Structure 1
Amino acid sequence: MIFYSLAAKLSWAAWVALAVLFLFAALIYSFIYEDRPYPNIPIVGKVPRDFLNMKTKERFVRYANQVLKQGIAEFKGKTFQVNGANGPVIILPPSFAEEIRNDSRLSFTGVIDHNFFPSYPGLEIFNPIGTGNDILQEVVRKNLTLALEGMTPVLSSEMKLAMSKLLPATKEWTPIQFFPVAPQLTARLSGRVFLGESLCRNEEWLDVSIKYTIDSFFAVRALRMWPPLLRRVAHHFLPEMKVVREEVKTARRIIEAEVAERRRARFEAEVAGAPLQSSDAIDWFDDVAGDREYSILQSQMMLSVAAIHTTSVTLMQLLYDLADSPEYADRVRAEIVAVLREDGGWQKNTLYKMRLLDSCMKESQRLHTVGALSMNRRVEQQGGITLSDGTHLPQGACLGIPTLAMRSTDRWGPDAEHFVGDRFYKLRQQPGNGSRWQFISTSADHMGFGYGRQACPGRFFATNQIKIAIIHLLLNYEWRFQNKQPQSVIESEHIPDPSAEIMIKTRTPEIQL
């Protein structure tokens, strides 16, 4: 009776106000609930009175290493959690790397699904089902890796052409920003293998693939700022989401036209009894897929994003380390020239023989791993899993291992924070270590490409790509910093300062490629 009496006295305006208040409370609750910490695991890096976790997330994005160091120092080999850009993440100590590396109850694709909202138009590129993840994995592991031997001269020619377009031909020291150049170089080289000669030089494709790699991260960040209950509405109006939808539309037009022409040509050649040989990933996807359905757009865009984001940052950091350590740059140049002269140009094992270059790459990656966390996984097991120390990881929980351990003085000695280009060169000279410390190798001590069954399958191609790029950059140019090497401005991804300048001037190469 009291309720009905009260209801009768309330005006329509009051009812509307109550409804709005209830909706607002529900939205705030859903926002907080999504970022709720996992039970029974201590949390590190929480900003006081930050009820919506906005400042806490921003702190981790910008100062991830500081937050992780705090947790490592406080809990000393124990599990803790942080509130990262995409919500809570359980931080495991490196001692768990062996335990989780091949655990099928944990998945990397689950992390992609959690972090990138692939159900929303514009971000569907990150949907592992849409890309035909098993098809994508097979293409990368088999076709791409097998094609590497014959691709070195092709990639070398493409790199030479790309440099002529992107770098100044100056004999005087000239400052440039290498940050925008690195993804251009990477996009052209990876595009040569993924899409063929015509599209890898297509300026519209290069522009959209590079922009999407950057803009998709902004779109995800903008979408995550909204409470979960409103995202299905907000994504229609967010400017960042509109940008990526247009970029996907452009990419679809370019790729689908190329694929249609390729399939027509292959069909006509087969009818004529002279089938065409598969030459790049467009053909490989069709060969591997057979009757299975997949999206050629999503598959190609996913390859592009992965290659441009990780490879360009790795290449950039390597060049910066060599520019900051001219003694190693000179030694690497000498090795490059000696091997190429010995082989008379590009041979099957030419890149493999450049062991000092390989060592410098691994050392640079040790110091500047792309991402503050490695072995990123999501718990897929119903009911969660329990680790050997009794820590329970609930279903849906995201986890990772800090890459800080790769710079530990306990493991690498007093010079662990410094670039020692021949560190891994010397390790490989020890008995039994010939292949253990290659750039492509993975271990619990060096998780630059992850570790275990879900380690990066594209690392073999990335390795060749980076080697070919740096060979051309060192033989044809001198590099130095006017002041000092730039530091990371986004610690959670180890992204260097985009505005940083590096000095460049041309040099006469000892050998023509």
Structure 2
Amino acid sequence: MLSNISMDGLPQVPYAPSNLSLVSMAQSFPAMIAILLGLIGVLSVVVSTSGKPTHPLANPPRWNQTTLSKRIEFLKNGRAILSDARKRYGKQPYRLIVDTGECLILPPEYAATIRNSMDLSFAQAIEKNFSGHVSGFEMYAVLLHEQRLVQNVVKDQLTKYLNVLTKPLSEEASHALDVIFGQDTEWRETVIADSILQLIARLSTRVFLGDTMCRNTAWLEASKAYTVASFTMILKMTALPSSLKFLVPWFSSEAKDVFKHGATCRAILTPLLAERRALKAEARRNGKPEPVFNDMIDWFEQKSGGKGYDPALFQIALSFVAIHTTITMRRQARRTVVLPSGLVIKKGEQIAVDGFNMSDPTVYPDPHRYDIYRYQRMRTSTDRATVSQSHLVSTGPNNLSFGHGAQGCPGRFFAANEMKIAMCHLLLKFDWELAEGTDLESRFLFGETEALWKGNRLRFRRRREEVDLEGLAYV
């Protein structure tokens, strides 16, 4: 899984839709808005029977507001709301109405406390926040599979075979860059977000679906279209009550597009999955060893025994997390949990660990300045704890980019390896410079999320690399 966290601990996205205004939300499904307006009166008077919360609510609705309006307010101004809450409550837990509802915000130090608690579920938080119960969005519930199929395959197979995968990934990177950027030695320009999206889709598909599908234009386009359309729609549904989201596909043409793109992905994958199973069945009938492919299709089949899961749905989910995902240390309580400090987290409660340490100058000097040698200096420290936190895949209270603990991102080792291979090819084979008009200021998008402008362009030209990557021997 690929994740981006800004230097102040807030999630970034590498590719984000630009039409996420409240106006566009209303235009996307006006009938839903009408239904909501009719039900606001009812929803606003529902009183919880679970007892009075023990932690302060940082942004309670005023007398003339509803919880729904506060969720929309967070979508519009989440960064300022979160900053204000931090100043008022310091390192004390507090509740906050965020875009997905009420959430208990824990100080960074709690990352170590809850890191291995399986009663605080990342998978359930994803299913709820990403609308995995809504038709067309079922793939956001795949992490809830009873065998933890995605998590275990990534941990046991994908990470295990990283060294074996280096050569095919490098070969695919070389081919993909020839297709995306060409070999022209004259300066040209590209919208870098689009080009990187293509590159990552190719490399990830090489491992997930094999050496044929990674060059299948129909699959690449369909999986990218699904990724962008579903993520855009999720953001537009964020402030809607979970109990009403199932109605969205009936009223929104954009939600229907998500379903259509998902169906296209399934139609492309189904023959490949059927062919694989037929080859293995034939080998068994003939008393021969079953063919081994060493890709995610193969590993899912091995782990599941071919039963109890939807292969196409799981592959679509993998394509999404490879191309576009944001990971924070959010959890949902599967049952009531009492932490060592005495803090009680009630069943069904949403929690999140604040990533503020990533912008704390006592942890990272001058944290808002890009410093290419920051982590290199950390590796030379005499403090072993500092050294242990200096690596890209390191996790902990001071770096929650990949989460932390038993539910930390299991794919971070693959993501790091894939990124390094891509960077080697990009930097050795091309000269790069900023195009005129490039905007390097981060832009607020929604909630607490920020990103660079997706229209940024870079100039590039092919160069003769000092190291012949294609001629390297892999041992």
**SS of residue matched to 2:376:** helix
CA deviation vs aligned residue, 1:151-178 (integer Å, no higher than 9, x gap)? 1111111111111222254545444211
Q: Aligned in 2, Cα 1:420/1:224: closer, same or farther, shift over 3 Å?
A: closer
* 8 Å Cα contact 1:132/1:295 also seen in 2: no
Q: Determine the structure 2 residue equivalent to 1:166.
A: 180
Q: Determine the structure 2 residue equivalent to 1:430.
A: 381
Amino acid paired to 2:345: L
2:316 pairs, out of 301, 306, 313, with: 301
Q: When you count helix as a share of all residues, which structure comes out higher?
A: 1
Matched, 1:474 2:466: no
1:30 pairs, out of 23, 35, 43, with: 43
* 8 Å Cα contact 1:27/1:227 also seen in 2: no
Matched, 1:283 2:282: no
Cα deviation for residue 101 of structure 1 reads: 1.0
Bigger Cα displacement from structure 2, 98-107 vs 475-484? 475-484
Residues in 1 aligned to 2:148 and 2:249: alpha-carbon distance in whole angstroms: 29
Cα deviation for residue 465 of structure 1 reads: 0.5
Bigger Cα displacement from structure 2, 190-199 vs 62-71? 62-71
Q: Determine the structure 2 residue equivalent to 1:109.
A: 123
Q: Aligned in 2, Cα 1:291/1:153: closer, same or farther, shift over 3 Å?
A: closer
CA deviation vs aligned residue, 1:367-406 (integer Å, no higher than 9, x gap)? xxx56xx31111111xx33444544332211111222321
Cα deviation for residue 219 of structure 1 reads: 2.6
Residues in 2 aligned to 1:461 and 1:97: alpha-carbon distance in whole angstroms: 23
Q: Aligned in 2, Cα 1:239/1:25: closer, same or farther, shift over 3 Å?
A: closer
Matched, 1:510 2:466: yes
Of the two, which has the highest radius of gyration? 1
Residues in 1 aligned to 2:179 and 2:334: alpha-carbon distance in whole angstroms: 47
Aligned residues: 429
Cα deviation for residue 243 of structure 1 reads: 1.0
* 8 Å Cα contact 2:439/2:452 also seen in 1: no
Q: Aligned in 2, Cα 1:26/1:181: closer, same or farther, shift over 3 Å?
A: same
* 8 Å Cα contact 1:428/1:437 also seen in 2: yes
**SS of residue matched to 2:405:** coil
1:490 pairs, out of 416, 439, 445, with: 445
Q: Determine the structure 2 residue equivalent to 1:402.
A: 354
Residues in 1 aligned to 2:289 and 2:54: alpha-carbon distance in whole angstroms: 65
Q: Determine the structure 1 residue equivalent to 2:217.
A: 203
* 8 Å Cα contact 2:56/2:95 also seen in 1: yes
Residues in 2 aligned to 1:440 and 1:23: alpha-carbon distance in whole angstroms: 43
Residues in 2 aligned to 1:417 and 1:406: alpha-carbon distance in whole angstroms: 9
Matched, 1:393 2:345: yes
Amino acid paired to 1:108: F
Question: What does residue range 5-404 of structure 1 map to in structure 2 within 5 Å?
Answer: 26=39, 28-30=41-43, 39-45=53-59, 51-53=65-67, 56-61=70-75, 63-128=77-142, 134-167=148-181, 169-224=183-238, 226=240, 230-272=244-286, 273-290=288-305, 292-310=307-325, 370=326, 374-381=328-335, 384-404=336-356
Q: Aligned in 2, Cα 1:70/1:168: closer, same or farther, shift over 3 Å?
A: farther
* 8 Å Cα contact 2:123/2:143 also seen in 1: no
**SS of residue matched to 2:212:** helix
Bigger Cα displacement from structure 2, 41-50 vs 158-167? 41-50
* 8 Å Cα contact 2:101/2:239 also seen in 1: no
* 8 Å Cα contact 2:430/2:462 also seen in 1: yes
TM-score by length of 2: 0.82
Amino acid paired to 1:92: L
Pairwise CA RMSD: 3.0
Structure 1 segments unaligned to the other structure (5+ residues): 1-20, 311-369
Q: Determine the structure 2 residue equivalent to 1:343.
A: none
Amino acid paired to 2:380: Q
